[in-house]
A and B are shown apart, each in its own frame.
Chain A
Amino acid sequence: MKVQPLEFEKPIADLEKQLEELKKHSKMQTIDLEREIRAIEDKIQETLCEIYSDLNAWQRVQIARHTSRPFALDYLTLAFSDFVELHGDRLFGDDQAMPGGFATLAGKRCVVIAHQKGRDTKENIRRNFGSANPEGYRKALRLMRLAEKFRLPVISLIDTPGAYPGVGAEERHIAESIAVNLREMTLLQTCIVAVVIGEGGSGGALGIGLADRVLMFENAYYSVISPEGCAAILWKHRSHAPEAAEALKLTATHLKELNLIDQVIPEPAGGAHRDHNKAAANLKEALVTALSELEDKPLQVLLEERYEKYRQMGQVLEAAESDSKVASER
Chain B
Amino acid sequence: MAVFPKPSLKLRTDKKREIPEGLWQKCPDCGEVIHNLELVQNLKVCPKCDYHFTLSARERISSLVEESSFEEFDGDMSSVDILNFKGVASYSERLKSYQERTGMLDAVITGFGQIEQHRVAVAAMDFNFLAATMGSVVGEKITRLIERGTSDRRPVIIVAASGGARMYEGMFSLMQMAKTSGALARHSETKLAYISVLTHPTTAGVMASFASLGDLIIAEPKCMIGFAGPRVIRETTHQDLPPAFQTAEFLRDHGLIDKIVHRKALRSTLTTLLSYLSVNC
Contacts and interface: CB of A to CB of B under 8 A. Distances in A.
Do the two chains belong together in a single complex?
yes
B82 A315 contact: yes
Contact of A316 (B78, B228, B241): B78
Contacts of B86: 247
B192 to A, nearest CB: 14
B139 A314 contact: yes
Interface string A60-73: 00000000000000
Nearest to B76: A319
A294 interface: no
Contacts of B170: 223-224, 247-250
Contacts of A243: 87
Given A182-B209, A315-B80, A247 B85 contact: yes
A183 B173 contact: no
Contact of A203 (B76, B204, B229): B204
Given A187-B185, A234-B88, A313 B79 contact: no
Contacts of B210: 179
A317 interface: yes
Contact of A318 (B76, B139, B209): B76
Given A230-B167, A233-B167, A247-B86, A314 B205 contact: no
A143 to B, nearest CB: 19
B88 to A, nearest CB: 6
A314 B136 contact: yes
A171 interface: yes
Contacts of A249: 83, 170-171
Interface string B157-196: 0000000010101111111111101111110110000000
A172 B143 CA distance: 27
Interface in A223-273: 223-225, 230, 233-236, 243-244, 247-250, 255, 258, 260
A169 B229 CA distance: 12
B173 A224 contact: yes
A165 B233 contact: yes
Q: Which one of B88, B176, B177, B246 has the highest number of Cβ atoms from chain A below 10 Å of its Cβ?
A: B177
Given A234-B87, A234-B88, A174 B77 contact: no
A44 B251 CA distance: 57
Interface string B238-252: 010110011000010
A182 B171 contact: no
Nearest to B105: A319
A207 interface: yes
B88 A166 contact: no
Contact of A182 (B79, B136, B139, B182): B182
A122 interface: no
Size bin of chain B's contact surface: 35 or more
Contact of B171 (A163, A173, A247, A255): A255
Given A165-B236, A166-B233, A310-B175, A235 B181 contact: no
B110 interface: no
B43 interface: no
B232 interface: yes
A163 B76 CA distance: 35
B167 A250 contact: no
A175 B226 contact: yes
Interface in A168-205: 169-176, 178-180, 182-184, 186-187, 202-203
Size bin of chain A's contact surface: 35 or more
B128 interface: no
Contacts of B177: 179, 182, 203, 206
Contacts of B79: 316-317
A222 B171 contact: yes
A236 B89 CA distance: 12
Interface of B: 74, 76-80, 82-83, 85-89, 135-137, 139-140, 143, 165, 167, 169-179, 181-186, 188-189, 204-205, 207-213, 226-229, 232-233, 236-237, 239, 241-242, 245-246, 251, 254, 256
25 contacts: A170-B228, A171-B254, A173-B212, A184-B185, A186-B182, A202-B174, A202-B205, A203-B227, A206-B178, A223-B170, A224-B205, A235-B87, A247-B85, A248-B170, A307-B186, A311-B179, A314-B135, A314-B140, A314-B172, A315-B80, A315-B136, A315-B172, A317-B77, A317-B79, A318-B78
Interface of A: 163-167, 169-176, 178-180, 182-184, 186-187, 202-203, 206-207, 210, 222-225, 230, 233-236, 243-244, 247-250, 255, 258, 260, 307, 310-311, 313-320, 326, 329
Closest 7 CB pairs of A and B: A165-B228, A314-B136, A319-B76, A182-B181, A234-B87, A179-B212, A175-B227
Given A173-B251, A178-B209, A183-B182, 15 more contacts: A165-B233, A170-B226, A179-B211, A230-B167, A247-B87, A249-B83, A255-B171, A258-B82, A260-B172, A311-B183, A313-B175, A314-B137, A314-B140, A320-B76, A329-B140
